[in-house]
Amino acid sequence: MSQWEHYPQSTSVKCASRLLNSCLVSSLLVSASLSAQQIECNRHTLAKIDQTISVDGKLDEAVWQQATKMELAYENNPGEGTPAPVKTEVFFYHDEKSLYVAFKAYDDEPEKIRASLRDRDALWADDNVGIIVDTFNDQRGGFEFFVNPLGAQADMKMDDSDGWREDASWDAIWDSAGQITDFGYVVEMSIPFSSLRFPETEGAKVWNIAGWRNYPRDVRVQMATHKRDRDIKCNLCQFEQIVGLKGITSGNNVQLTPTLTVSRQDEKDEVPGPWKNGDIDAEPGLDIRWGITQDMVLNATLNPDFSQVEADAGQLNVNSTDSLFYSEKRPFFLDGASYFDTTNFNFVHTRNIADPDVGVKLTGKSQQHSYGVMLANDSNTSFLMPENQGSGLATLDESSNVAIARYKNDVGERNNVGVLMTHRNSDNYHNTLLSVDGTYWFSDKDNFRYQVARSQSKNSVGVMEDFDVKEKQNDHALSVNYSHSTRDYNLRANYTNIGEDFRADLGFQSRSDIERYVLGGNRYYYGDKDDLFTRWGYFGDWDKTYDQDGKLLEEEYEIHGNLQGKKQFFSNFGIVHRNRHYDGQYYNENQFMMFAEFKPFATMTVGNFLRIGKQIDFSNSRLGDVLDLQPHISWDVNEHLKLSLNHNYSQLKIGDKRLFTANQSDIRIGYQFDMHSILKFVVQYTDIDRNQDLYLDKDDLPDEKQRYFSTQLIYSYKINPQTLFFIGYSDGGFQDDSLDSIERDQRTVFTKFSYAWQL
């Protein structure tokens, strides 16, 4: 299994029903004494001051002299709790409605500060400061708020149940500003409590919190208010703590966001041919967000605008048996999305709900209990049909109804157990899934994760004919993972078993009919920021996959190295040997792969992915020689103008002759007028050339030439993630063997307006 791929890992078929019951019971009864290592945290009394500030990045209000003060005294990367190379101070106080935060970031060479005007969540190449706060004080997850020296924002949710994981799709409404000064820079933040979730408790609250500074120079240095010990797996348990916040509430916390999208799409019935002008389509909609309590939120949407505003990143789909994955970007589904996550499988991928008219969702957390319920309809019903060597996409010409429910119970310090149910149905089809999952920590270094699921499906006549499946499909999916992690190494063992007829139609499950074993590990070494390499190591694994009848599908060995160092250099490189079954034969795929990225200049990032070696030609069931290159470059020309280029090149040769050559380019140019206003231009171009003489099935030859292009020009003005204005134009076209050149076949003009009205 390649380190650049992520597969769910699983357990045995025969014990499915027993494990489904026993996992739930054992997790609830387990002793908390074996869970997380207890850490003595520094506690700070948080100042309560009934005074607001002007969020302007000037830090000139007298109230900051009374605020709670901490210093970011430690370098935690690449150093490990060593003294910070520069001084940083952070100040906190609150009133009844908001948490106020300010940073004074000192720098001996302020002319080297890296900062540009940025769109949201795009500041990570810059200097930046922020806070990470665990409002439930359960050391399992938190909220992140970061700001660069010019005031650009980034916010995320983080999960710390099994290592640090972040979800940048989460967006909150808050204020920030920053200014570069003669001593460094200053940042101010105002974070409304209505943007957070926290327990509804009497008296004072205790929150785990960290002040954080990213200091990118020749090496990227991270500093914080706490001293990190890499031998301790949990991160939040090492943070500072603030005590206070008595009587705070999220207020009425009702947000109404009316939307209006107006568009016109023109198409061609024949290419080449005349344009058929479309009608002007005006679509009003309404999103409602109600914070029923501090830790329970109800979302509803009526006639929602789920139009894709900015084009997805290009993905090259040639000589592949896998379906493409696209991330969720729509606000209604993103709010509270983590409440539906499970440990080992992606059983809830809401991008499968393509075109709903109405939706409602309730998410919340009360003490150790977290829960989520979602109901929606969908006029565009499509889902993955998995097999053991690939997947296809089924589409029904009928609408469907969707129901999702999730419950999780936190047990002890770090253990948990959860249940998930998903259901999708129409007149001639349904898919129902039930899953139990959880995590159990034997010690602060050893953990066991499991998931057991059962699905039942009824297929329409069209699906049965297109995919050669039965009317009813019922089957299981099982997963168990064990991991032992220390400061310097990690060992892991995984087992997966997914039945032939298992389906997760509301998730992204692209494989079925498999039984997989995996053994692997990592070894790490650490240097100092003055060394050529600040971190290095190696990792590898062995995996073996069978189908449900015991036939070997794949056996793979791989070993990789990794390096980090000067110029913010990062690289993974290694070799893979794979014995793979396809279309009745076994093939040996031996490949070398490498990813490398660095910053030759402060304003530029350059990188490339390389794969070379043997690979199956899936169209003709034989072995070929593959060369894949994926170079990328991003350049901040100045604080306003940004350029980026991502290119995919793929070539497959049979002997000394080329079967195909594919090129795909994704070019993006952005001009940021100020922190709210940006103009973006996107060009995507795909060029595939095939040698038809080398294809064996002469009755079903692919086009010798395939060209695709699309362009998009968008102006946006954003006050916050929900109050915004877009106007744009997009078009696209193609060329195949019937055309002498690329012909446009669709064009669209659109505008969108939404306003978040908080009551």
CA distance 727 to 178: 28
% of the chain at pLDDT higher than 70: 93
Q: How confident is the model at residue 329 (pLDDT cuts 50, 70, 90)?
A: confident
Q: Is 50:63 a contact under the CB 8 Å cutoff?
A: no
> Which residue would you say has higher pLDDT here, 408 or 389?
408
β-partners of residue 283 are 261
Instruction: Give tens-digit pLDDT for 182-192.
Output: 999 999 999 99
Strands (E), 547-656: 552-565, 569-582, 585-601, 604-617, 622-629, 632-636, 641-654
Token pair for residue 324?
């493409």
**pLDDT category, 13, cuts 50, 70, 90?**
very low
Tens digit of each residue's pLDDT (9 = 90 or more) over 596-645: 999 999 999 999 999 999 999 999 999 999 999 999 999 999 999 999 99
Stretch among 10-24, 208-222, 520-534 having the lowest mean pLDDT: 10-24
pLDDT (tens digit per residue) in 348-374? 999 899 889 999 999 999 889 999 999
Fold of 47-244: Immunoglobulin-like (2.60.40)
Tens digits of per-residue pLDDT, 191-236? 999 888 888 788 899 999 999 999 999 999 999 999 999 888 889 9
Quote the mean pLDDT of the chain.
90
Helix ranges (H only) for 451-524 are 461-467
Whether the pLDDT of residue 315 is over 80: the answer is no
DSSP assignments along 210-240, one per residue: EEEEEEESSSEEEEESS---TTSS-SGGGSE
Q: Which of 346, 633, 341 is nearest to 477 (CA)?
A: 346
Rounded CA separation 298/289 (Å)? 6
Q: Percentage of the chain surpassing pLDDT 90? A: 78
Residues for the chain: how many in total?
759
Say what the pLDDT of residue 251 is. 67
651 pairs with which residues across the strands? 627, 661
The whole-number pLDDT of residue 116 equals 95
| pLDDT surpasses 70 at 573 | yes
66: which DSSP letter?
A: G
Question: Is the pLDDT confidence value at 444 over 50?
Answer: yes
pLDDT of res. 309: 59
Q: Which segments of 26-71 are extended strands (E)?
A: 43-45, 68-71
- What's the confidence (pLDDT) of residue 707? 96
> 323 falls in which pLDDT band (50, 70, 90)?
confident
**pLDDT for 407 beyond 60:** yes
Q: Among 281, 184, 243, 219, which residue's Cα sits nearest to residue 42?
A: 243
CA-to-CA dists, residue 543 to 33, 482, 490, 714, angstroms: 34, 15, 17, 46
| CATH 2.60.40.1190 residue window(s) in the chain | 47-244
Torsions phi, psi of 65, nearest 5?
-70, -20
More confident residue, 265 or 529: 265
Q: How confident is the model at residue 242 (pLDDT cuts 50, 70, 90)?
A: very high
| Closest of 192, 197, 100 to residue 142, by C-alpha | 197
CA 526 to CA 229: how far, in whole Å? 13
Report the alpha-carbon angle 597-601-607, nearest 5. 20
Q: With bands split at pLDDT 50, 70 and 90, how would you rate the model's confidence at 306?
A: low
DSSP per residue, 157-194: EEE-BTB-EEETT-----EEEEEE-SSEEEEEEEEEGG
Whether residue 10 has pLDDT greater than 70: no
Q: What is the mean pLDDT of residues 152-164?
A: 89
Q: Is 600 exposed, middle or buried (0-12, 13-18, 19+ CB in 10 A)?
A: exposed
Burial of 460-477, coded b for 16+ CB within 10 Å and e otherwise, reads beebeeeeebeeebebbb
- CA dist., res. 544 & res. 553, Å (int): 8
DSSP label of 246: T
In angstroms, rounded to a whole number, what is the distance separating the alpha carbons of residues 745 and 574? 43
151, burial (CB in 10 Å: exposed 0-12, middle 13-18, buried 19+):
buried
The predicted-structure confidence for 28-59, as pLDDT tens digits, reads as follows: 443 333 334 456 678 999 999 999 999 999 99
Q: Do strands 175-180 and 184-192 pair parallel, antiparallel, or not at all (unpaired)?
A: antiparallel
Burial class (CB in 10 A: 0-12, 13-18, 19+), 573: middle
DSSP code per residue over 569-594: EEEEEEEEEEEEEETTEEEEEEEEEE
Instruction: Determine phi and psi for 329, rounding to 5 degrees.
Output: -135, 0
Q: What's the rounded Cα separation, in Å, for the pair 144 and 176?
A: 13
Q: Report how far apart, in Å, the C-alpha atoms of 497 and of each of 11, 267, 378 are.
A: 6, 46, 31
SS3 of 359-394: the string is EEEEEEEECCEEEEEEEEEECCEEEEEEECCEEEEE
pLDDT at 167 over 90: no
pLDDT band at 313 (very low <50, low <70, confident <90, very high): low
The model's pLDDT over 409-433, given as tens digits with 9 standing for 90+, comes to: 999 888 999 999 999 999 999 999 9
Model confidence band, residue 168 (pLDDT cutoffs 50, 70, 90): confident
Task: With a cut of 90, say whether residue 24 has pLDDT above it.
Answer: no
Which residue's entry shows tokens 């056996």? 555
pLDDT score of 274 more than 90: yes
Instruction: Report the alpha-carbon distance of residue 243 to residue 222 in Å, rounded.
Output: 25
CB of 227 closer than 8 Å to CB of 81: yes
